[in-house]
């Protein structure tokens, strides 16, 4: 910045503060001139200045009554949607609670069936053990019978050979 001031001071031939003031003045003059040039071209294009109000077609705008009617209709719609949302939330909670109740019933049924299966498995295991013991004792009885008959035959054979 100091170099720019020194350059302006040498260009304008004045001390630095005076050079700065003259630079700001020139910039202000250029901006004001540019604004006037734009206004001139705007007038040449038949554009009204920004400060003037243009008359518009009335059909583009909504009357205050129409705006109020739209607002009330929108308020009614929002109220309806709010009540609908609350009802949907209630229905959803009822539906969820019904699903939870069904799940609990299924779980209870499953637990009851599981207890029944456990009981049946215990009974079946006892029946299988009893059947296994009966088979084993039947086999032993049959083996004892066979051994008894073999002894009889052995006794008959010994008596024949002696």
Residue 121 covered by a domain: no
SS3 track for 50-90: CCCCCCCCHHHCCCHHHHHHHHHHHHHHHHHHHHHHHHHHH
Indicate if the pLDDT at residue 76 is higher than 90. yes
Residue 119 covered by a domain: no
Residue 66 covered by a domain: no
Residue 60 covered by a domain: no
Residue 151 covered by a domain: no
Q: In the structure, what pLDDT confidence band is assigned to residue 15 with cuts at 50, 70 and 90?
A: low
Indicate if the pLDDT at residue 111 is higher than 60. yes
For residue 73, what pLDDT is reported?
93
SS3 track for 21-50: HHHHHHHHHHHHHHHHHHHHHHHHCCCCCC
Q: Residue 48: which domain range?
A: 1-55
Short-list 47, 11, 38, 39, CA closest to 26:
11
Mean pLDDT of the chain: 80
For residue 136, what pLDDT is reported?
92
Indicate if the pLDDT at residue 5 is higher than 60. no
Q: Helix 2-12 to helix 16-44 angle, to the nearest 10 degrees?
A: 80
Q: Which residue has the higher pLDDT, 129 or 53?
A: 129
Residues of the chain with pLDDT > 70: what percent?
A: 79
Residue 69 covered by a domain: no
Count how many domains the chain has: 1
Model pTM above 0.75: no
Short-list 15, 23, 22, 25, CA closest to 6:
15
Quick check: 36 and 30 in contact, CB under 8 A? no
Residue 27 covered by a domain: yes
Residue 160 covered by a domain: no
For residue 71, what pLDDT is reported?
92
């Amino acid at each position: 910045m100091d170099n720019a001031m020194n350059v302006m001071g040498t260009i304008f031939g004045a001390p630095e503060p005076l050079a700065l003031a003259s630079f700001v003045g020139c910039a202000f003059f250029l901006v004001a001139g540019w604004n006037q040039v734009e206004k001139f071209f705007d007038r040449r294009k038949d554009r009204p200045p920004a400060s003037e109000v243009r008359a518009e077609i009335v059909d583009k705008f909504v009357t205050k009554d129409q705006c109020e009617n739209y607002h009330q209709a929108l308020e009614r719609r929002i109220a309806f949607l709010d009540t609908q949302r609350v009802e949907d939330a209630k229905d959803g909670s009822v539906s969820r609670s019904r699903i939870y109740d069904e799940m609990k019933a299924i779980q209870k049924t499953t637990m009851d069936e599981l207890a029944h299966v456990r009981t049946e498995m215990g009974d079946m295991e006892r029946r299988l053990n009893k059947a296994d013991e009966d088979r084993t004792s039947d086999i032993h009885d049959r083996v004892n019978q066979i051994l008894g008959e073999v002894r009889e035959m052995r006794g008959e054979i010994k008596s024949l050979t002696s």
